[in-house]
């Protein structure tokens, strides 16, 4: 099975699918699945733009609305998680996951699904200690505080994922697991992102929640994004009981921009499956059913039950009987139904509505799933509370002094003490401007016939393992295709360890095409056009 993995999408669906199509023709292959690691930006109309945490001047429709309206259909099955730049009111309609457009599936706040026998899990959002123990209380229209807190990871979702016992093949998170950078080429990372040095040296870069899940789930692959840099690592876990130690291959990718390493295709062996399509996961649904009564939809802090004599139940792992009950609830049908439906009118370029307010809607997919499994539609519950807890008009800034907050359940969390620039701590405007400057520098420094090193190999793990599990990652070898794809030079291939996987990195180059007329042009927030030659055309 060939799986394409993409970093931060930032609404560039047309360009991502275009690149996959180009590679398929070039290599005579067929990509089975696309995984996007956050910042997907499923913006349906102008109202959704107001629910996305980006500066107003960067609130552009991009291309998702075409897939939502039916104008286009995703050419490859796409699964994604949420990041920290999302149309949050849209994703909140699907707390347990669902279709945001035909052939495009969102995993929810947290989720596990199966595709052709491959088990895929994910956790949406980014970690912030001061919101971690709160419930999902946010509700549109968001204020400056809830516009950001809505995409912060909650301990409830992590607690659910920690009940998983069966092996996970692939896991996705937007931000990195903390300390994963020690299992790769750390110095190369710091050469690319100098401002991360302080967090790396103090072990405060990344998510402690994701770190905990990495240790518990020990998936074969873990894919992330967020830091807008490609980074590979290999981590061997301590053995659990008498089981052989497991190894996780970690890869973070960039966002879809010129000269960026934003896409990689990995081969994973096929497995027997009850369906050729996307399937629900019985163990995950059994966990959702068991933990449903623990759901919190207020800002009050919640701590997971523990075996300390204070809780009647603390173990919510799924038994075989629990999973059989899920099968009965679903009438024995695990295939995820193609039940996408639009809940708001899509953007109409011929009749723009810049003053459209943010929408709140329950989603029929969530309603149907909750009815079958006896779950609570938490977004609906927040909307029906009848108070202002989810719509507080507090103007308190998210990054103000957190000294009054209760201590994090992670005693080693010192994220509030770092003096360097964490990508989510700096202002959003600075994040975009920084990326723009990097792109200008890249264009100025790279010649038109840029060549890359022959190979990059994953580093040795911290403990001794067989070399057969090492994954060789080749350098980027594909650039932006012309309108009529040509054969680029400098192609390299790599193998993926014991699974003999062929991995190819894709990046876009603006120096490939010969003339402006043969070059695709797109709008984006900081690199606004793909252009063939240096010229002074640019859009604001």
- At 28-81, the pLDDT tens digits run 999 999 999 999 999 999 999 999 999 888 889 999 999 999 999 999 999 999
Domain that holds residue 31: 2-390
Residue 332, token pair as written in the block: 């024995």
| Element housing 430 (H / E) | helix 428-445
Q: Does some domain include residue 493? A: no
Query: Is residue 141 reached through a cis peptide bond, with omega within 30 degrees of 0 on the bond before it?
Result: yes
Residue 461, token pair as written in the block: 């793990």
pLDDT at 235 over 70: yes
For residues 311 and 317, give the distance between their C-alpha atoms in angstroms, rounded to a whole number: 16
Q: Which residues make Cβ contacts (< 8 Å) with residue 10, sequence separation at least 6?
A: 39, 41, 62, 85, 255, 256, 524, 525
Least confident of 252-256, 314-318, 513-517: 513-517
> 449 vs 284, 452, 513, CA distance in Å?
49, 10, 11
For residues 377 and 152, give the distance between their C-alpha atoms in angstroms, rounded to a whole number: 19
Average pLDDT over residues 136-155: 96
Helices in 121-196 by DSSP H: which ranges? Answer: 146-149, 155-161, 186-192
In tens, the pLDDT along 453-506 reads: 333 334 443 433 333 333 444 443 333 344 334 444 433 333 333 343 434 444
Q: Does some domain include residue 229? A: yes
Per-residue confidence (pLDDT) for residue 274, from 0 to 100: 67
Task: Quote the DSSP letter at residue 415.
Answer: G
Q: Which residue in 248, 222, 216 sits closest to 235, CA to CA?
A: 248
In tens, the pLDDT along 110-128 reads: 999 999 999 999 999 999 9
Q: Does some domain include residue 52? A: yes
Per-residue confidence (pLDDT) for residue 406, from 0 to 100: 34
The answer to whether the CB of 6 falls within 8 A of the CB of 80 is: no
Find the distance separating the first CA and the last CA of the chain, reported in whole Å.
41
Count of domains for the chain: 1
Handedness of CA 257, 435, 152, 64 (dihedral sign): negative
In tens, the pLDDT along 304-327 reads: 998 887 888 899 999 999 999 999
3-class DSSP string for 2-40 = EEEEECECCCCHHHHHHHHHHHHHHHCCCCCEEEECCCC
Q: Does some domain include residue 46? A: yes
Residue 379, token pair as written in the block: 């977004």
Q: Does some domain include residue 301? A: yes
Q: Name residue 476's beta-bridge partners.
A: 505
Q: Does some domain include residue 290? A: yes
Q: Does some domain include residue 14? A: yes
Q: Which residue in 210, 234, 229 sits closest to 413, CA to CA?
A: 210
The answer to whether the CB of 5 falls within 8 A of the CB of 35 is: yes
Q: Does some domain include residue 438? A: no
3-state DSSP assignment of residue 217: helix
């Amino acid at each position: 099975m060939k799986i394409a993995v993409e970093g931060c999408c930032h609404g560039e669906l047309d360009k991502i699918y275009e690149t996959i199509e180009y590679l398929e023709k070039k290599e005579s292959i067929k990509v089975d699945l696309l995984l996007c690691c956050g910042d997907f930006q499923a913006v349906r109309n102008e109202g959704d733009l107001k629910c996305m945490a980006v500066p107003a001047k960067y609130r552009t429709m991009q291309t998702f609305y075409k897939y939502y309206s039916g104008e286009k259909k995703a050419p490859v099955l796409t699964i994604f998680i949420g990041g920290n730049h999302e149309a949050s009111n849209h994703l909140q309609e699907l707390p347990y996951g669902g279709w945001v457009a035909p052939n495009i599936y969102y995993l929810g706040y947290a989720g596990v699904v199966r595709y052709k026998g491959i088990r895929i899990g994910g956790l949406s959002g980014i970690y912030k200690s001061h919101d971690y123990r709160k419930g999902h209380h946010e509700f549109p229209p968001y204020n400056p505080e809830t516009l950001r807190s809505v995409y912060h990871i909650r301990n409830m979702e992590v607690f659910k994922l920690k009940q998983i016992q069966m092996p996970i093949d692939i896991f996705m998170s937007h931000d990195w697991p903390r300390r994963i950078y020690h299992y790769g080429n750390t110095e190369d990372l710091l050469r690319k992102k100098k401002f991360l040095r302080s967090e790396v040296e103090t072990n405060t870069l990344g998510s402690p929640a994701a770190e905990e899940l990495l240790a518990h789930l020990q998936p074969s692959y873990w894919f992330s994004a967020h830091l807008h840099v490609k980074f590979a690592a290999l981590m061997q876990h301590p053995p659990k009981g008498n089981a052989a130690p497991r190894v996780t291959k970690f890869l973070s990718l960039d966002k879809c921009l010129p000269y960026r390493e934003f896409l990689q295709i990995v081969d994973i062996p096929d497995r027997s499956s009850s369906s050729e399509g996307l399937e629900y996961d019985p163990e995950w649904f059994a966990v959702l059913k068991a933990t449903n009564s623990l759901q919190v939809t207020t800002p009050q802090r919640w701590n997971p039950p523990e075996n300390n004599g204070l809780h009647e139940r603390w173990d919510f792992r799924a038994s075989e009987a629990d999973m059989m009950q899920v099968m009965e609830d679903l009438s024995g049908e695990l295939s995820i139904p193609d039940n996408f439906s639009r809940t708001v009118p899509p953007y109409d370029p011929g009749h723009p509505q810049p003053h459209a307010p943010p929408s709140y809607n329950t989603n029929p997919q969530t309603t149907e799933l909750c009815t079958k499994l006896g779950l609570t539609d938490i977004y609906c519950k927040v909307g029906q509370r009848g108070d202002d807890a989810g719509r507080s008009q507090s103007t308190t800034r998210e990054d103000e002094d957190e000294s009054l907050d209760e201590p994090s359940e992670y005693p080693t969390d010192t994220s509030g003490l770092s003096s360097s620039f964490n990508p989510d701590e700096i202002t959003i405007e600075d994040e975009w401007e920084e990326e723009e400057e990097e792109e200008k520098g890249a264009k100025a420094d790279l010649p038109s016939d840029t060549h890359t090193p022959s190979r990059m190999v994953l580093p040795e793990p911290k403990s001794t393992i067989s070399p057969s599990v090492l994954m060789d990652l080749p350098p980027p070898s594909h650039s932006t295709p012309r309108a009529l794809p040509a054969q680029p030079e400098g192609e390299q291939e790599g193998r993926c360890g014991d699974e003999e996987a062929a991995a190819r990195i894709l990046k876009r180059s603006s120096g490939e095409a010969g003339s402006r007329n043969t070059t695709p042009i797109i709008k984006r927030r900081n690199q606004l056009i793909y252009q063939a030659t240096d010229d002074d055309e640019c859009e604001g």
